[in-house]
Structure formats: structure tokens, C-alpha cells
Amino acid sequence: MDNTTHFGFKDVATDDKQSLVKGVFDSVASKYDLMNDVLSFGAHRLWKRYTIASSNVKTGDKVLDIAGGTGDLAIEFRKKVGESGQVILSDINAAMLGEGRKNLINQGIFGVDYIQLNAQYLPFESNTFDCVSIAFGLRNVTDKDQALREMHRILKPGGCLLILEFSKTDSELLKKFYDFYSFNVMPKLGGIIADDEDSYQYLAESIRKHPDQETLKDMVLEAGFGFCEYHNLSGGIVALHKGIKT
């Protein structure tokens, strides 16, 4: 394995990326939801609603939400699985996981388990979960292929993987606007609202380094999934990939 990887547009030692990403999310955790609403004009809530609707999660299912941050998906999954089901909200970052726990308690959502973990090393038995989700987290994982193999391993046969992530738009007009917004507006808003311009510069750069729709689909299939499809949202600025373990 190469000893360097990307952190935004910079090349860094592979072993250092995890701690650098941790620094970003330690910094932005308390303002993460507010920033998501401001930066996406509230659209992230619609993208997540579409993800939940695409999940086929039902009463009694076991669901793992990886990089679940402030708990948006976990809240909705908890409602779907009912008392007989199980939802685990996980994140590599303790500050984000703390915000998620606080958010769920404030909304009266109980019965969710919280685990701090690394997506590349999932501490679960094989064939355990009916659904694994990761929203806006895969691009921060150092070894995405290993993480996808782990997600495949812990899913039951017939289980569903949901990856909601920023992606590539084919519209030149939308691309120009998005590039201007990402690199000129987003970091400035990060500085004003979250007092952290650098972290939002990294987040904008990390989106550009993430694999495009077809590449990520191929990665999901190469990880062992028998089926994968994707749906573009907001003109391809975001895409939802759905993989099924056969």
C-alpha cells in the first residue's frame, strides 16, 4: 500500500490522515448541523430522507450507521425498526458521537447504541446487519476499499449498503457555480459560523478527491456486493449508491 494519501488537495502520510480528519471534526462538531443547513440550503435533509426511503429497512431489522455524526439517519432508522429492532450510531470521532447522542436525547429518541469505531475495522461478527449506511463519511476514510469490504462482511445475505456522498455533476453550469461556491463561499461561511475556515476548505477539497459515481459503483462491486446502483440527487452534486449483498 502506498505510504501517502490525500488530505484534501495535500499529500500526507497515510498514517497521519486519520488524526488530521479527527482534528477537522473535533473543530466543527458543535456547529455541524447548523453548517449543513446553511451550506446545503437545507437540501441535506431531503437527501437523507430519500436515503431512508430507499433503505427497505423494516420492523425488527438491525442497522449500523457509520460516520453517523449528529444522528440524522439514526433517528429515522430507529422509528422504522421499532422496539424489536436495533440501531447502532457509530463515528470515529468522539466529539461528533457526543453531538449525536445529545441530539437524539433532545428529540426523545432512546434505544440507540453508540460505538466509536473506524470504518476500516468493524468490531462485529460477519452476517450481522440488515442495513449499513454511511452518509457524507466515506470520503474521509483512508482506505475506502477496505472499509467497503468490511461493510460487505458484516451485512447479512440480502442486506443493503447505502452510501450517500457528494459526487460529480455533468452540468457545466452547475459545476462552475458549485466550484465557486465550494472554494469561495463555503470556507468563508465556515469562518463566520464555526470559526474555522480551514476545516471547511478541507471539506470542499475532500469532495473533489472522492471517486465519481461509476468509480464508486465499481468499488462497491469489487468489495463483493452482487448488485449496486446509484441515483443522482441535485444534478449529481450528491449521489446515493445502494449495494446488495447476494
Say if residue 169 carries a ligand binding annotation.
no
Say if residue 13 carries a ligand binding annotation.
no
Say if residue 91 carries a ligand binding annotation.
yes
SS3 content of the chain, % helix, strand, coil (to 5): 50, 25, 25
Q: Domain of 205?
A: 4-244
CATH number, domain containing residue 144:
3.40.50.150
pLDDT in 10s for each residue of the chain, 246 residues:
468 787 767 776 887 777 776 676 776 677 777 777 777 888 999 999 999 999 999 999 999 999 998 899 999 999 999 999 999 999 999 999 999 999 999 999 999 999 999 999 999 999 999 999 999 999 999 999 999 999 999 999 999 999 999 999 989 999 898 888 888 888 888 888 778 888 888 888 888 889 999 999 999 999 999 999 999 999 999 999 999 999
Name the burial class of residue 13, with classes exposed (0-12), middle (13-18) and buried (19+) by CB atoms within 10 angstroms of its CB: exposed
Supply the pTM of this predicted model: 0.89
Say if residue 2 carries a ligand binding annotation.
no
Structural domain count, the chain: 1
